[in-house]
Amino acid sequence: MEWTDIRLTVSKADAEAAEAVATMIAEGGIYIEDYSDIEEQVEQIAHVDLIEQELLDKPRDTVIIHMYLEPGTSPVETLALIAARMEAAGIPYTSETEGVEQEDWQNGWRKYYHPMDVGQRLAIVPSWQDYDTDRVKLILDPGLAFGTGGHETTNLCLEVLDERVKGGERVLDIGTGSGILAIAALKLGAAVAEGVDIDPVAVRTAGENAALNGVADKLTVLVGDLSDKASGKYDIITANIVANAIMSLAPAVPGLMADDAVFIASGIIDSRKDEVIAALEAACFSDPWPESILQKELENPLSLWLCAMDGDTIAGYVGSQTVLGEADMMNLAVSPAYRRQGLGRALVLALCESLRQKMQATVLTLEVRDSNAPAAALYASLGFAQIGLRKNYYQHPKEDARILRKELL
């Protein structure tokens, strides 16, 4: 059956009065498009960092009121009534009409959602489709919750889980949404998982998806503000959310991590990179740089910083400062989820080459805690030699620093 969509465009100033007119006339309901304060609304309701440009380009000084007429209702008569009421109210407007097929809007998106293979072991399969595969199938019905597996950030997290889950792990999924990450970890062999989300709809959907996959007895889903519901130690922690949320929970994450645990964070847009680097700095070091100092270093023309990216996820970074051909390595950090993969070595090698090419540096010097034997061994394998010791260089906790040096010629 085809309904009729009558679209009335009015100025923002006349929107309230026009809405009242439309409400009195419409029998099939109305729908209002108002983009005048989209940034504020998104911040309050959706808590996202990125708004699609198509929405930002919408006019801010007009409002569109949609009136839906049931099949069989004459739009001519309705338009005449609208004209009379709008004229009486002194409201200038324009109108358009369009036929609209009746549809289940909540489920209409399903035709665009298909099975997909992820990583080496996983397959994400919509609950209403059959998919013949030897992979581990994750049956999913995201409903109104975020997390179909198709979004780049979700896909990246799934790939890391595919690599990291070996069996028997305890998993915490912060901002669980549809439950896709927690359930994927369980299907890959994790022992138990906990999902936390501030949205009650997401919590319900995650529970339903756990039942679809036969892991309801292994997944606990709670309504809460990020990690405030978590307790104990976890082998894997995932957070596919946004930069603000990641930065706010970063201080609490180390206390939730078991020995050799990994923290998988994603959902960061490039314009928030510096802030997230500062948060990683705080999470990786007992005596981190303040964000203000880190920001100054990033903007310093004598500084050179390299960032390792996995899609839109910051995996690690290294920074240096060069004066008169002598470079000092200021910092090296690798996100917990990417450690023990040779990324630190790769960053140092890339820094050495970049310093030679871009900064014309001839030597590179760095400091490392005297007790940090693994780091010292890494630097020795890269050609660094100890040239001295700085007493009480580190303050939290207080410790001496080995001074290492490498020729770049």
For CATH 3.40.630.30, the residue range(s) in the chain are 286-407
Q: What is the pLDDT of residue 45?
A: 46
Give 280's contacts (C-beta < 8 A, 6+ positions apart): 250, 314, 317, 333, 335
DSSP string, 163-195: HH--SS-EEEEET-TTSHHHHHHHHTT-SEEEE
Model confidence band, residue 271 (pLDDT cutoffs 50, 70, 90): low
The answer to whether domain 2-101 has CATH 3.30.70.120 is yes
What backbone torsions phi and psi does residue 188 show, to the nearest 5 degrees? -85, -10
Give 66's contacts (C-beta < 8 A, 6+ positions apart): 5, 6, 7, 30, 31, 32, 33
What backbone torsions phi and psi does residue 172 show, to the nearest 5 degrees? -120, 125
Strand ranges, E, within 47-182: 62-69, 94-101, 116-118, 122-126, 136-140, 170-174
User: pLDDT tens digits for 343-394?
Assistant: 889 999 999 989 988 889 999 999 998 888 888 888 999 999 999 888 888 7
For CATH 3.30.70.120, the residue range(s) in the chain are 2-101
Q: What is the CATH number of domain 109-267?
A: 3.40.50.150
The conformational region for residue 91 under phi > 0 = left, psi -120 to 50 = alpha, else beta, is beta
Does the reported pTM lie above 0.75?
no
- The pLDDT mean for the chain works out to 81
- Residues of the chain above pLDDT 90, percent: 22
The answer to whether domain 286-407 has CATH 3.40.630.30 is yes
Of the chain, the end-to-end C-alpha distance in Å amounts to 77
| More confident of the two residues 109 and 342 | 342
- HSE of 14 in the Cβ direction (CA atoms, 13 Å)? 18
Q: Are 370 and 400 in contact (CB under 8 A)?
A: yes
| Spatial distance between the Cα atoms of 26 and 6, rounded to a whole number of angstroms | 10
